Amino acid sequence: MVDQEAELKRLMLRGLDGDPVAWRTLLTEMRRGLTAFFKRRLNGAEADVEDLVQDCLIAIHAKRATYDRSLPFTAWAYAIARYKLIDHFRRQGRRVVVPLEEASVLMAEHSVEDGAVRRDLKKVLSILPPRQRRLVEDVRIGGYSLAEAGARNGFTEGAAKVSVHRSMKTLVASVSPDED
């Protein structure tokens, strides 16, 4: 199974670097995703879906220089789609009422805060040696047990426990002001 975010981001980066085939492929793939995105939100107004998809693709193309290569691509692209949808609703002069039980469809899968948290986490973890960083990521982020993470990274369970504990102390000390 291909990670859609990774594949779209790879195409975006290649497109930004001047690969026209990758750029065309990206826009084709985005067309499918955007069509589904707008169809779910425009019940009864399917005629507007294609116009919104086109507006979005044009905006992605026009604003591609603003994309930050270190952040997720789909969050950036679907933020543009949400703004286009809001503009569409404003032009229509109507308000969409969504029952509270279905409100989750209005929420983004990724938010700006998610990107900032990932960036900060990556920055903080970068102070650890690679082997310890992978161990901490596996245990604290990936949800692996100490035994599983230790086996994945060449530690015994006991050594993994000590390493994670020491690494966490190092990380806490690096972000906490001295209280001495």
CB 153 within 8 A of CB 145: no
From residue 103, give the alpha-carbon distance in Å to each of 8, 40, 43, 82, 155. Answer: 27, 12, 15, 14, 45
Q: Which residues of 155-179 are buried (b: 16+ CB within 10 A; e: fewer)?
A: beeeebbebbeebeeebeeeeeeee
Between residues 21 and 105, which one has the greater pLDDT?
Answer: 21
Domains and CATH numbers, the chain: 4-110 (1.10.1740.10), 127-175 (1.10.10)
In eight-state DSSP terms, residue 103 is: G
Mean pLDDT of 14-36: 92
CB 168 within 8 A of CB 160: no
Single-letter amino acid, residue 98:
V
Mean pLDDT of 122-148: 87
Q: What is the DSSP string of 108-149?
A: -SS-HHHHHHHHHHHHHHTTS-HHHHHHHIIIIIS---HHHH
From residue 96, give the alpha-carbon distance in Å to each of 15, 67, 78. Answer: 36, 30, 19
Between residues 119 and 129, which one has the greater pLDDT?
Answer: 129
Percentage with pLDDT > 90 across the chain: 32
Percentage with pLDDT > 70 across the chain: 83
pTM above 0.85, yes or no: no
Give the three-state DSSP class for 79: helix
